[in-house]
């Protein structure tokens, strides 16, 4: 098979049974692969109402047809499961080198089911698979685990692992690979921990078959030219990483501060990508086959490692009122070591700080831990560690901000959608991003449809960020486009420079298919609708397509976006209409039939 290996690995951890199954190529191509294919597998194999941390949930590691190929950024993999944080379908995307190694080992996906009666890890060398005892590495931090497994199996292996947070079932736990890369969001690490699976070690020596190498060279050359010429992918991200956005977003008055109480941070430059590069950056840290190189490798005091990204800088920075970039780097480091999502971790500390500000969290509950006061840059480090260890008040925080705030009777203080923390853009001043947040199939998320691109960065064209005109249509296009890109195995950042025709041409060159750009986007629409149906079956109804009350009722108090709220009540009906769904926000039978998924009714 071209692009696909043609083999799915199934591991039943209860029975310690390993089987190899043929990939259904027709289904793979219908959903492109990756995110879409794994969602189809999950829908077919579990009851969407299953307890996410029960033995009946399944965890799927999956690649796209472009993963492991010479295509630009062709190293992505995804972790798909039912989320313990949100109750929705979860797909958490990661870069680094692990995903490409899975393809080199001969597999398109790994389906993990059941639960081991004791801690184990998988060792995969090309087609051979071992289930090995993990008692000696259970409880270890991510870097310790990786070091031990590399020593046991060779430095050239690639390791994906959970940290203590995943072992202890924190709902914000991540799956970490290549030490500092994270399949970070939606609690996928907790699902891995619930199965007593510590790590997956991989070494492969195969190459992915390419249908038309000459065509791929031509498409590669064209797309590389676009990536290098684009101001974001060719200049901003390579020079300053994703934190190049800090000053840009702050200057637009949509940089959430103190748990979204305000939207500008007067010390933004102190935590910017420019300052990061000047004071702490040691080297760039690109993923497999990446010409952009936005990854950072930083050092402060005795701490060194990958990151932080823009979202992390914001979450531990302005959202907590902190301007000490060195300590933000340290908080990021401990997130990586314990295996927790940096967005949810920082945003949960911010929510806890507001609870403390309001007198709802008392000093005695903190058991001598740092006070949760705005700007306390020691608190972000220590409470990150306590969250990661699921210890004391940190155990409450390890459940995420929604459950934390709800336990004090004020769930509205959690800046989340469907119980997942929002990222670093205040939608009150970016109307399209607001409707995208509210309708995201995995809860609060920016990478399900990055409306920042047209509304702030002007790519592919500049939109007025305050107007409602056309925003529902744009949100739908970006959501569908992103679903297809995720499924292909490429990085979303390529979309700053590349269009649907480029991705279709790349898939065609690798797989020998005949997709058009419209076919590519329609595949994304098929994926989006299937995810929506999964959520509906899981009990996530359209009443949860909403934003925190603060964002729709309380205007931004000052700055360039002063007096704006998100006008979701006007945008949501437009969005449902553009989607071809009923006014109730549910996909119609005709819509599902038109996408070839009529068997999956809500």
Quick one: tokens of 36? 């879409």
Residue 9 has pLDDT above 90, yes or no: yes
Rounded to the nearest 10 degrees, the angle between the axes of helix 34-45 and helix 517-537 is 30
Q: How far apart are CA 353 and CA 167, in angstroms?
A: 26
Residue 428 has pLDDT above 90, yes or no: yes
What would the mean pLDDT of 114-120 be, rounded to a whole number? 98
Quick one: tokens of 272? 């910017």
Chain-centroid distance of CA 193 in Å reads 18
List, in sequence order, every residue forming a beta bridge with 94; answer none if it has no partner: 77
What would the mean pLDDT of 178-206 be, rounded to a whole number? 98
**Torsion, CA 156, CA 162, CA 167, CA 173, rounded to 10:** 180
What would the mean pLDDT of 311-318 be, rounded to a whole number? 98
What would the mean pLDDT of 121-145 be, rounded to a whole number? 97
Q: What is the DSSP string of 275-318?
A: HHHHHTEEEE---TT-SS---EEEEETTEEEE---HHHHHHHTG
- Model confidence band, residue 1 (pLDDT cutoffs 50, 70, 90): confident
What would the mean pLDDT of 248-254 be, rounded to a whole number? 98
Residue 114 has pLDDT above 90, yes or no: yes
Q: What is the pLDDT of residues 499-510, one digit of tens each?
A: 999 999 999 999
The CA distances from residue 261 to 257, 278, 353, 357, 412, in Å, are 6, 30, 12, 12, 12
Query: Can you give the three-state secondary structure of 86-108, one letter per residue?
Result: CCCEEEEEECCCHHHHHHHCCCC
Give domain limits for the chain: 7-203, 241-409, 427-594
Rounded to the nearest 10 degrees, the angle between the axes of helix 342-357 and helix 379-389 is 120
Query: pTM of this prediction?
Result: 0.97
Quick one: tokens of 235? 């200049």
Are the beta carbons of 261 and 66 closer than 8 angstroms?
no
pLDDT value of position 68: 98
CATH architecture of residue range(s) 427-594? Orthogonal Bundle (1.10)
The CA distances from residue 157 to 151, 201, 202, 439, 469, in Å, are 10, 6, 6, 39, 51
The neighbour count for residue 602, using CB atoms within 10 Å, is 17
Cβ contacts of 54 within 8 Å, gap of 6 or more? 194
Q: What is the pLDDT of residues 435-445, one digit of tens each?
A: 999 999 999 99
Quick one: tokens of 313? 């800088």
**Torsion, CA 401, CA 429, CA 237, CA 484, rounded to 10:** 80
Q: How many residues does the structure list for the chain?
A: 602
Q: How far apart are CA 487 and CA 481, in angstroms?
A: 10
Q: What is the pLDDT of residues 520-574, one digit of tens each?
A: 999 999 999 999 999 999 999 999 999 999 999 999 999 999 999 999 999 999 9
Q: Kindly provide the residue ranges of all beta strands, DSSP E only, lying in 514-596, ordered along the sequence.
A: none
- The position carrying tokens 């219908």 is 30
Mean pLDDT of the chain: 97
Residue 479 has pLDDT above 90, yes or no: yes
What would the mean pLDDT of 223-231 be, rounded to a whole number? 97
What would the mean pLDDT of 293-302 be, rounded to a whole number? 95
Rounded to the nearest 10 degrees, the angle between the axes of helix 325-338 and helix 379-389 is 0
Q: How far apart are CA 225 and CA 227, in angstroms?
A: 5
Say whether the peptide bond before residue 308 is cis (omega within 30 degrees of 0). Answer: yes
Name the 3-class secondary structure at 569. helix
| Number of helical H runs and strand E runs in the chain | 25, 17
Q: What is the pLDDT of residues 370-394, one digit of tens each?
A: 999 999 999 999 999 999 999 999 9
- Model confidence band, residue 344 (pLDDT cutoffs 50, 70, 90): very high
Q: Are strands 77-82 and 59-63 parallel, antiparallel or unpaired?
A: antiparallel
Name the 3-class secondary structure at 202. strand
Fold of the CATH domain 241-409: 1.10.569
pLDDT value of position 123: 98
Chain-centroid distance of CA 396 in Å reads 23
Residue 117 has pLDDT above 90, yes or no: yes
pLDDT value of position 579: 98
Q: How far apart are CA 464 and CA 469, in angstroms?
A: 9
What would the mean pLDDT of 60-68 be, rounded to a whole number? 98
Fold of the CATH domain 7-203: Aldehyde Ferredoxin Oxidoreductase;  A, domain 1 (3.60.9)
Rounded to a whole number of angstroms, the distance between the first and last alpha carbons of the chain is 34
Quick one: tokens of 123? 């060792």
- Model confidence band, residue 461 (pLDDT cutoffs 50, 70, 90): very high
pLDDT value of position 598: 97
Residue 94 has pLDDT above 90, yes or no: yes
For the chain, give percent helix, strand, coil, nearest 5: 45, 15, 40
């Amino acid at each position: 098979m071209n692009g696909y290996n043609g083999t799915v690995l199934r591991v039943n951890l209860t029975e310690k049974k390993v089987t190899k199954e043929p990939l259904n190529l027709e289904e793979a191509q219908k959903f492109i692969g990756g995110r879409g294919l794994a969602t189809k597998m999950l829908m077919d194999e579990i009851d969407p109402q299953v307890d996410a941390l029960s033995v009946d949930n399944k965890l799927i590691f999956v690649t796209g047809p472009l993963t492991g190929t010479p295509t630009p950024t062709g190293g992505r993999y995804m972790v798909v499961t039912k989320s313990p944080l949100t109750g929705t379908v979860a797909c958490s995307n990661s870069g680094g080198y692990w995903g490409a190694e899975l393809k080199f080992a001969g597999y398109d996906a790994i389906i993990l089911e059941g639960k081991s009666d004791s801690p184990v890890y998988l060792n995969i060398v090309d087609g051979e698979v071992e289930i090995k005892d993990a008692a000696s590495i259970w409880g270890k931090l991510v870097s310790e685990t990786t070091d031990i497994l590399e020593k046991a199996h060779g430095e050239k292996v690639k390791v994906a692992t959970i940290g203590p947070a995943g072992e202890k079932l924190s709902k914000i736990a991540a799956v970490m690979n290549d030490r500092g890369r994270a399949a970070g969001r939606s609690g996928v690490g907790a699902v891995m921990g619930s199965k007593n699976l510590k790590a997956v070690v991989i070494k492969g020596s195969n190459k992915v078959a390419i249908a038309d190498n000459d065509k791929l060279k031509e498409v590669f050359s064209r797309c590389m030219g676009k990536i290098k010429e684009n101001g974001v992918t060719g200049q901003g991200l390579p020079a300053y990483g994703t934190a190049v956005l800090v000053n840009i977003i702050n200057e637009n008055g949509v940089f959430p501060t103190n748990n979204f109480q305000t939207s500008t941070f007067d010390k933004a430059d102190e935590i910017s990508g420019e300052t990061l590069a000047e004071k702490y950056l040691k080297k760039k840290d690109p993923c497999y086959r990446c010409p952009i190189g936005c990854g950072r490798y930083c050092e402060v005091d005795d701490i060194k490692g990958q990151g932080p990204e823009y979202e992390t800088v914001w979450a531990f920075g302005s959202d907590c009122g902190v301007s000490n970039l060195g300590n933000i780097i340290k908080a990021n480091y401990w997130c990586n070591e314990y295996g927790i999502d940096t967005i949810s971790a920082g945003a949960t500390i911010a929510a806890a700080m507001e609870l403390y500000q309001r007198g709802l969290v008392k000093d005695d509950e903190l058991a001598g831990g740092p006070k949760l006061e705005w700007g306390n840059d020691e608190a972000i480090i220590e409470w990150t560690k306590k969250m990661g260890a699921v210890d004391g008040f940190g155990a409450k925080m390890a459940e995420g901000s929604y459950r934390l705030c709800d336990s004090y009777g004020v769930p509205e203080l959690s800046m989340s959608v469907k119980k997942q923390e929002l990222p670093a853009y205040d939608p009150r001043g970016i109307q399209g991003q607001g409707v995208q947040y509210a309708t995201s199939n995995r809860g609060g998320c920016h990478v399900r449809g990055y409306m920042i691109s047209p509304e702030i960065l002007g790519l592919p064209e500049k939109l007025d960020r305050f107007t409602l005109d056309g925003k529902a249509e744009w949100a739908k296009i970006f959501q569908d486009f992103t679903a297809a890109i995720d499924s292909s195995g490429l990085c979303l950042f390529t979309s700053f420079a590349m269009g649907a025709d480029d991705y279709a041409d790349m898939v065609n060159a690798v797989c020998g298919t005949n997709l058009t750009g419209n076919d590519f986007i329609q595949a994304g629409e098929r994926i989006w609708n299937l995810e929506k149906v999964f959520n509906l079956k899981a009990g996530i109804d359209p009443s949860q397509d909403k934003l925190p009350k603060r964002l729709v009722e309380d205007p931004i108090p000052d700055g360039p976006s002063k007096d704006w709220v998100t006008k979701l009540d006007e945008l949501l009906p437009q969005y449902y209409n553009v989607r071809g769904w009923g006014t109730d926000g549910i996909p119609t039978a005709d819509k599902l039939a038109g996408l070839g998924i009529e068997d999956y009714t809500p």
